[in-house]
């Protein structure tokens, strides 16, 4: 691979990477919308986009690994926008509203645009703290970097990558297609103790555990032990919970509370550190505020103002719009932390959390408004997870983050348009076949997955 010439004066950015990334974003966004509606989940397309970018770019001559990273960043930008939209707003079809495409297309376009704008700005801010200072692993980003690096000619990693791809694909086909391997092993002998335990037979889960390392894997395991082996059975035994369902609800509430508390703590620490760094003393000398801190503040105010206006135009009241933007600030940080540590992003949970909070503060809001609130938060939370993976890949490969930012913006704009359009096409034409994962419309404003309440 060779280093690519600059485009627009930005290193690692090329016109062909933007064009290829934008076209790829359209296809991946449409596919992600279908998967979100059909299966209620969207796998991270980051590694797949890297492989596709390598193949296409090589058709046009010599390439660099950084150019591949830039193209891949653009390709995946719309996937989680589609996921956030597909996991929440389809609940509007359940309310009996007249879902006129030419009315709600612009509404969906508006809330998706808010997710894109806020996501791009906030991840640029979180990038410094979470990648440079905290150095979180972001396992999907590491895997993507390994994939891109292994594509170099003569690299020994290519053989390892190809072998693991074939083995994991064969295993998955044997498990899901031929049903020769169980997807989940349930330790039923523990059911009598009210312990819901088992093992998910997935090479993806094993790979994530391998990449994030023993520390973060151990933390996740301890959380599972506390929730499923200690809290639920002990609570049932001493009579705290009346049923397994009641215990599960408490367990989920504790999990949400821990996530929110951790997010608030990190936000406060982040703000305090900035104040100390900019206004305190360092080495006995007074540190004067840097000009870029004011520049970022001005940009942040403009971003928030634009997002606020779009929210109001989309039908949210001014007070609800303000609450949504505050919620987005918190949930994007939590999403960045969780994806950085575990490679997962519970974006629909974040949407539900802020939706419930806004409903408690402004109880008069309609179901339509509540679902739009969940949509904005879920879209933004999902988008930042994907973007942080890209930045992690760029950190490993040495890619210019400004080139990635531009490519993410280009792919994100395409993703916003495609996602806002394809959701109507798919639901209106395949309603019974794809409308599996929607936001429910009960007074509790829960998130519904088939017959299972999350």
Q: Which residue range is the domain that position 116 belongs to?
A: 15-180+298-453
Which structure tokens are listed for 155?
């690299």
Largest CA distance in the chain: 69
Q: Residue 441: which pLDDT band, with cuts at 50, 70 and 90?
A: very low
174 to 164, 169, 179, 218: CA distances (angstroms): 15, 9, 6, 29
Residue 452 burial (10 A CB sphere; 0-12, 13-18, 19+): exposed
What's the confidence (pLDDT) of residue 95? 76
Mapping DSSP to helix (H, G, I), strand (E, B) and coil, where does residue 93 land? helix
Domain-embedded: residue 27: yes
Cβ–Cβ under 8 Å, residues 358 and 327: yes
Within-domain flag for 5: no
256 assigned to some structural domain: no
397-419 pLDDT per residue, tens: 999 999 999 999 999 999 999 99
The answer to the question of residue 397 being in a domain is: yes
Dump pLDDT digits (tens) for 7-60.
767 888 889 999 999 999 999 999 889 888 876 778 788 888 988 888 888 888
Three-class secondary structure of residue 85 per DSSP: helix
Residue showing tokens 């408690």: 360
- Interval 142-194: pLDDT, tens: 888 988 887 765 556 667 767 887 888 888 888 878 888 887 788 777 777 76
According to DSSP, the residues that pair with 185 across neighbouring strands are 199
Mean pLDDT computed over every residue of the chain? 80
CA distance 404 to 423: 27
Number of structural domains in the chain: 1
Which position has the higher pLDDT, 262 or 90?
90
Q: How many CB atoms lie within 10 A of CB 381?
A: 34
- pTM of the full structure: 0.77
Higher pLDDT, 330 or 5: 330
Residue 323 belongs to some domain of the structure: yes
Output phi, psi for 193, to 5 deg. Answer: -100, 10
- Looking at the chain, the whole-number percentage of residues with pLDDT higher than 90 is 30
155 belongs to a structural domain: yes
Q: How far apart, in whole angstroms, are the C-alpha atoms of residue 377 and residue 355?
A: 9
The band of 450, judged by pLDDT with boundaries at 50, 70 and 90, is very low
Stated as kind and residue range, the H or E segment containing 192 is none
pLDDT of residue 158: 64
Instruction: Compute, in degrees rounded to 10, the torsion defined by CA atoms 343, 379, 252, 227.
Output: 0
d(CA 108, CA 186): 41
Other residues' Cβ atoms within 10 Å of the Cβ of residue 447:
23
**Is 153 domain-assigned?**
yes
Least confident range of 325-329, 378-382, 431-435: 431-435
| Other beta carbons less than 10 A from residue 329's beta carbon | 17
Coil, helix or strand at residue 122: helix
Beta-strand ranges (E) seen in 176-242 are 184-186, 198-200
- Are β-strands 285-286 and 184-186 bridged in parallel, bridged antiparallel, or unpaired? unpaired
The residues with which 438 forms a beta bridge, in sequence order, are 448
In a domain, 246, yes or no: no
Selected residue with higher pLDDT from 388 and 103 = 388
């Amino acid at each position: 691979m060779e280093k690519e010439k600059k485009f627009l004066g930005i290193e690692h950015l090329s016109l062909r990477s933007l064009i290829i990334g934008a076209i790829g974003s359209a296809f991946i966004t449409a596919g992600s919308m279908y998967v979100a509606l059909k299966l209620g989940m969207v796998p991270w397309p980051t590694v797949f986009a890297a492989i596709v970018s390598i193949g296409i770019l090589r058709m046009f001559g010599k390439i660099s690994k950084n150019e591949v990273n830039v193209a891949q960043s653009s390709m995946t930008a719309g996937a989680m926008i589609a996921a956030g939209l597909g996991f929440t707003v389809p609940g509007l079809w359940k309310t009996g509203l007249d879902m006129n495409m030419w009315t709600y297309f612009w509404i969906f376009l508006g809330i998706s645009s808010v997710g894109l704008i806020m996501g791009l700005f906030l991840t640029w801010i979180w990038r410094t703290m979470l990648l440079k200072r905290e150095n979180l692993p972001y396992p999907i980003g590491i895997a993507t970097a390994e994939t891109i690096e292994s594509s170099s000619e003569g690299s020994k990693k290519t053989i390892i990558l190809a072998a693991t791809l074939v083995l994991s694909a064969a295993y998955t086909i044997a498990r899901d297609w031929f049903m020769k391997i169980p997807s989940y092993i349930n330790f039923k002998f523990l059911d009598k103790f009210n312990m819901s335990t088992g093992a998910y037979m997935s090479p993806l889960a094993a790979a994530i555990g391998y990449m994030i390392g023993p520390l973060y894997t151990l933390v996740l395991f301890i959380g599972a032990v506390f929730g499923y082996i200690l809290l639920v059975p002990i609570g049932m035994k001493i009579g705290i919970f009346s049923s397994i369902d009641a215990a599960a609800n408490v367990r989920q509430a504790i999990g949400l509370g821990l996530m929110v508390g951790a997010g608030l703590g990190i936000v406060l620490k982040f703000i305090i550190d900035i104040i100390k760094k900019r206004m305190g003393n360092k080495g006995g000398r007074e540190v004067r505020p840097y000009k870029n801190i004011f520049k970022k503040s001005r940009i942040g105010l403009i971003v928030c103002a634009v997002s606020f206006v779009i929210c109001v135009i989309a039908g949210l009241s001014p007070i609800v719009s303000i609450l949504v933007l505050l919620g987005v600030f918190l949930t994007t940080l939590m999403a960045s932390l969780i994806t950085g540590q575990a490679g997962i992003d519970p974006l629909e949970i974040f949407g539900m959390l802020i939706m419930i909070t806004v409903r408690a503060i402004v109880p008069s809001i309609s179901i339509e408004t509540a679902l739009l609130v969940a949509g904005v938060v879920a879209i933004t939370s999902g988008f930042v997870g994907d973007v942080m993976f890209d930045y992690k890949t760029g950190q490993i490969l040495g890619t210019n983050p400004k080139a990635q930012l531009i490519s993410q913006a280009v792919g994100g704009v395409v993703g916003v348009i495609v996602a806002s359009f394809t959701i109507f096409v798919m639901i209106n034409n395949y309603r019974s076949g794809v409308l599996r994962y929607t936001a429910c419309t009960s007074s509790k404003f829960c998130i519904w997955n088939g017959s299972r309440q999350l």
